[in-house]
Amino acid sequence: MNMLRWKDLRIGFKYGVTLLITIFLFISAASFVIISLYEIENAVSMIETAGERSVALTHMVSLFKSKELIVNEYMNMSKKALVDDFDQVKKEFDQLQEILAPVLNTEELKLFSQHINKNNQVMDDTFKNIVIPNLAKGNREDAAIGYVKISGLTKPTAALFEKIKDAVDKQRALSIADAHKKVQYSIQALIISIVSAAVLGSTILLLISRGISKNLHQIVDITNKVSKGDLTVSKNQYSGRDEIGQLSASVNVMIQNLQNMIQGISQSALTVDEESSAFRKIADEVKESSMQIAATMDEMASGAQHQAEASSEIAHSISALTKLVQQANINKEVLESSAADILDVVQSGGIKMNASIDNMTHINEVIRDSVIKVKQLDESSKKVSGLVQVIQGISDQTNLLALNAAIEAARAGEAGKGFAVVADEIRKLAEQVGKSLKEITDIVVGIQNDSKGMTATLENGYQVIEMGTSQIHATGEVFDIIRAKVSTISENIKLVAYSLNEIAQNSEKINSAGEQVAAISEENSAGIEQTVASLQQQASSMETIVHSAHSLSNSAAALKNVVNQFKL
């Protein structure tokens, strides 16, 4: 748990903790050294104090001896100034004695101090109470006794001072030795503390750095394998949440995302390859269908041209028939006016009857030919209608193929945008072909309707002509009966005149219908030529589509080769 928490800490915080520990150790070492320095300072102070004591003791010895010399000098000169000098030395001696009294803390030193004080007091009392008064009285012997007593105190007192000085010097030597020991100990402690702080800090820093370096090496090894395309590497199992943990998690997520992405790209490449192959096949089929449609439309154009020529011939024939009918219609007035005189001009009537028979025979043939040609026109229009249905089916199939191509291009994404544009152009061409076929169908239906009407009219006229021909033949055969039945012939002539009038009217309609059939045939031929041009343009577009499909297939293969470089 603690290790996990340590791993969760940021690297900067870890280094900060290490730095704080090192600083703490250095501060501890410095504190210890400062304490040692304070102790050394105290020891030095004690040494200085001991030195001052030694100097003071030496000075006290000198003062004590000075007092003896002053007494000796006073014995010779008895000057009051010498007494003042004695008092001054005594005062200075007493001051030093007061200073040294507190530091003489051993029993031996206190005993020595008591003897010195006693000797000093004896010297003072002897000088004040014996030497001075006796010299003042002139009693030099008693004064000399006092001086001898004072001089006898000098050596013992000096010896006592020497013992105290030796003790003080010994104590100072001990203090100096102790100070040296403390200095050595402080130096050793400082070195140990510094080395310990450096070693401990370096150890902690090394452990942290090794841990970081180890995990970073693992991450670097993983990323190097990934950079070489190996996505089968195991994920880094670092459980911390520091920068290494975040980097490890990011690398693991990156590897997972790369695996998913490469798998998706691989699948997409396979799909694009398959779809491009299918699209290429469809494009080839559409191209072949377009070529078949173009060939069919060429045949239709040729048929339409023949149909236009036939329609033109029908129009000419119908025009000739119309002229004949008009001429017959003009002649029917002559027949009506001459009906009363028919008996007188039987011979002439017989000749004219023969001429009428010939004309009716010719009309019969013309009408029969017209009926046959109109039926042929109707059959041709039916064939055209069948071809139009075939083309309509091909156009619908082309439109469906264009729709499928657009769907496959949309699935291909960015790579299929060019195919989508081409598929849309194919769809537009198919719609244009469908529109043209609808117009052609309407025209052909009109032709069929007109040809059916023309056929019915011509058949009726043909029946009438046949009836007239039969009647004329019957009239020729029974020409004698005609004379007996002039009134009947007159009525029949009126009937023929009425029929000729109707034939004239129907002939004009047939003529107009024939002209319309010819015009429609020409329009049909032009529409077919336009359709052929559109199909040629469609074939060119399909060439582009086939080329693009091959390019897409090559790109998909290249993408598969790139994806195969990765290990999943």
Residue 306 sits in a domain whose CATH number is 1.10.287.950
Please check whether residue 240 lies inside any domain of the structure.
no
Question: Which carries the bigger pLDDT value, residue 159 or residue 453?
Answer: 159
- For residue 239, being part of any structural domain is answered with no
* pLDDT at position 145 over 50: yes
Interval 112-136: pLDDT, tens: 878 888 888 998 899 889 989 998 8
3 state DSSP class of 485:
coil
Q: Is 235 inside a domain boundary?
A: no
pLDDT at position 511, please? 65
**566: left (phi > 0), else alpha (psi -120 to 50), else beta?**
beta
Mark whether 415 and 278 lie in a shared domain. Answer: yes
Per-residue pLDDT band for 88 (boundaries 50, 70, 90) equals very high
Is position 252 within any domain? no
Specify whether 194 is located in the same domain as 271.
no
Clarify whether residues 200 and 291 are in a common domain: no
Instruction: In whole angstroms, give the CA distance from residue 559 to residue 568.
Output: 16
Same domain, 266 and 200: no
- How distant, in Å, are the alpha carbons of 124, 156, 380, 501 from that of 91? 11, 21, 168, 189
As to burial, measured by CB atoms within 10 angstroms (0-12 exposed, 13-18 middle, 19+ buried), residue 403 is middle
Contact of 297 with 525, CB cutoff 8 Å: no
Residues 221 and 264 in one domain: no
**What's the token pair of residue 225?**
């394998």
User: What amino acid is encoded at 133 in this protein?
Assistant: P
Q: CA-to-CA distance for 170 and 167, rounded, in angstroms?
A: 5
Range among 29-38, 144-153, 482-491 rated most confident: 144-153
Torsion of CA 351, 355, 356, 357, to 10 degrees: 100
Residue-wise over 163-174: b if at least 16 C-beta within 10 A, else e? bbbebbbebbee
Helix (H) or strand (E) holding 239: none
201-232 pLDDT tens trace: 788 878 877 777 777 777 778 888 777 777 78
Predicted pLDDT at 321? 55
* pLDDT at 545 > cutoff 60: yes
Distance CA 301, CA 307 (A): 9
Query: Residue 430's domain spans which residues?
Result: 259-563
| Structural domain contains residue 343 | yes
Q: Are residues 214 and 272 in the same domain?
A: no
Domain check: are 125 and 273 in the same one? no
Q: How confident is the model at residue 75 (pLDDT cuts 50, 70, 90)?
A: confident
Interatomic CA distance for residues 266 and 560, integer angstroms: 6
3 state DSSP class of 311: helix
pLDDT at residue 359 tops 50: yes
Cα–Cα distance measured from residue 363 to residue 323, given in angstroms and rounded to the nearest whole number: 11
Give the CB-side neighbour count of residue 229, counting CA atoms within 13 A.
7
Cβ neighbours of residue 365 closer than 8 Å, sequence gap 6 or more: none
Task: Assess if residue 246 is contained within a domain.
Answer: no
Give the angle 307-308-314 at the CA atoms, nearest 5°. 85
Q: What is the DSSP letter of 103?
A: G
Q: What is the pLDDT of residue 126?
A: 92
> Distance between CA 491 and CA 339 in Å, rounded?
9
- Contacts of 411-417 with C-beta under 8 Å, sequence gap 24+, read 411/271, 411/275, 412/272, 412/275, 412/276, 412/552, 415/272, 415/552, 415/555, 416/552
φ and ψ of 230, to 5 deg: -90, 100
How does the average pLDDT of the chain come out, rounded? 75
> For the whole model, what pTM was predicted?
0.35
Question: Domain tally for the chain?
Answer: 2
Stretch 542-548: mean pLDDT: 71
Rounded Cα gap, residues 273 and 279, in angstroms: 10
Query: Residue 237 — φ and ψ, nearest 5°?
Result: -95, 25
Name the amino acid, one letter, at 492. N
Q: Is the dihedral of CA 101, 103, 108, 112 positive or negative?
A: negative
Backbone angles phi, psi at 78, to 5 degrees: 50, 45
Same domain, yes or no: 273 and 213: no
The residue among 373 and 87 whose pLDDT is bigger is 87
Same domain, yes or no: 188 and 337: no
For residues 297 and 535, is the Cβ–Cβ distance under 8 A? yes
Last residue of a domain, one of 207, 225, 243: 225
341: helix, strand or coil: coil
Q: Which two tokens stand for residue 380?
A: 């041709």
User: Is 237 domain-assigned?
Assistant: no
Q: Does residue 214 share a domain with residue 266?
A: no
Query: Among candidates 110, 107, 108, which has minimal Cα distance to 118?
Result: 110
Instruction: Give me the pLDDT at residue 1, please.
Output: 47
Where do we find the tokens 């439109």?
A: 399
For residue 364, is it within any domain?
A: yes
Same domain, 75 and 213: yes
Q: What percent of the chain has pLDDT over 70?
A: 74
Q: Are both 13 and 138 inside the same structural domain?
A: yes
Condensed to tens digits (0 to 9), the pLDDT of residues 383-419 reads 777 877 777 788 788 878 777 877 877 887 777 777 6
CB atoms within 10 A of CB 349: 23
Q: Which of 427, 422, 424, 430 is nearest to 551 (CA)?
A: 422
If we measure between CA atoms, which residue out of 514, 408, 518 comes closest to residue 457? 514
